[in-house]
Amino acid sequence: MSKNSRRSPKKNQALSSGINPYVLRVIYILIGPIITYPVLNEEGPLRFIGLSLLFSGYHLFMLLFIDLLPEYIAYLQAKAPRKKLTVKQKRLVKFFAIFSFIIPVAFLGSIKILDHTMNGMHLFWWCIGSGILLGVLLIRWSIKKPFSFISSNNVTGFGIGFLFGTPMLFCAVMFISNRYIVIESINNKSIQISEKSIGSGGRRSKDVHYIYLTLDGKTERFTVGEAQFFHLKDSVVCDVKKGVLGYYFIDKIRSK
């Protein structure tokens, strides 16, 4: 049986149409965010357009776990030598193992920065998309030029690490950079409150109090305490810092 005859029907169909199956997956993944972003803050029926993200999420899952990761692991298992690692190579493997535990902690810690970032969801999805692309490129590159410390015994661990660790590390670095590398700072800036709302916290949780602030034509929701929520009137005073990525960070929200 020839190599081409073993391809799946979907891949054969994609190849016959002249479109690379991976490119086709990426197109499907982009459809949801592209048509959802313009109606991200809509409250009416248009908000159901966001369900298209499920379609994109499905194809993202298929790309990562069905198409790319098994191919990467199978290839490296065939190519990676069954060798005994040197002391230096074992140290590198141990370093990556320790680093893999630090990355999720850094990601979860940095995600709180988005709570006070104008247009923070746009920054989040941009970083996630770029991080996944970077991870995919790293995997494809490592297929052609496998790292010397990768053997047939640790291929799966490194494949999963590249695929999940790279996006989380990229996001953490970008979030922290935009927060602490400031290119413009405005203290005691007055910003109008465009809306106030209370979200139900459920039976076991307290209600959540939101205020909506508009800056440079973009409206963002912020969470405040109950006492501060009822004390705030039409506007607030806060410190505004523009990060190196161009996103504004709102700090120290207080009454005018």
> What pTM did the predictor assign?
0.66
Residue 7 has pLDDT above 50, yes or no: no
pLDDT range class, residue 8, cuts 50, 70, 90: very low
Q: In 3D, which of 171, 143, 149 has the Cα closest to residue 97?
A: 149
- CA–CA separation, 179 vs 114, rounded Å? 9
E strand or H helix at 203, and its extent? Answer: none
Distance CA 213, CA 223 (A): 11
Q: Residue 9: pLDDT above 80? A: no
Task: DSSP for 27-74, please give it.
Answer: HHHHHHHHHHGGGTT--SGGGGGGGHHHHHHHHHHIIIIIIIHHHHHH
Helix (H) or strand (E) holding 233: none
* Each residue's pLDDT tens digit, 14-44: 444 567 777 788 888 888 777 776 666 555 5
Percent of the chain with pLDDT over 90: 6
Report the share of the chain in percent with pLDDT over 70.
Answer: 70
Position 138 confidence tier, pLDDT thresholds 50, 70, 90: confident
59-73, 100-114, 224-238 — which is least confidently predicted?
A: 59-73
DSSP 96-108: HHHHHHHHHHHHH
Q: What is the pLDDT of residue 174?
A: 93
Question: What would the DSSP string read from start to end of 64-75?
Answer: IIIIIHHHHHHH
Contact 222, 210 (CB under 8 A): yes
pLDDT at 227 over 90: no
Instruction: Give me the residue spans of the domains in the chain.
Output: 4-180, 182-255
In this structure, are residues 229 and 196 in contact, taking their beta carbons and an 8 Å threshold?
Answer: yes
Cα 229–232–238 angle (5° rounding)?
A: 100
Has residue 106 got a pLDDT over 60? yes
Nearest C-alpha neighbor of 129 from the set 184, 64, 182, 185: 64
Secondary structure in 3-state letters for 210-232? EEEEEECCEEEEEEECHHHHHHC
Three-state DSSP at 201 gives: coil
Lowest mean pLDDT among 32-36, 89-93, 104-108, 252-256: 89-93
CA 17/CA 123 separation, integer angstroms = 35
Residue 47 amino acid letter: R
Residue with tokens 């949801």: 32
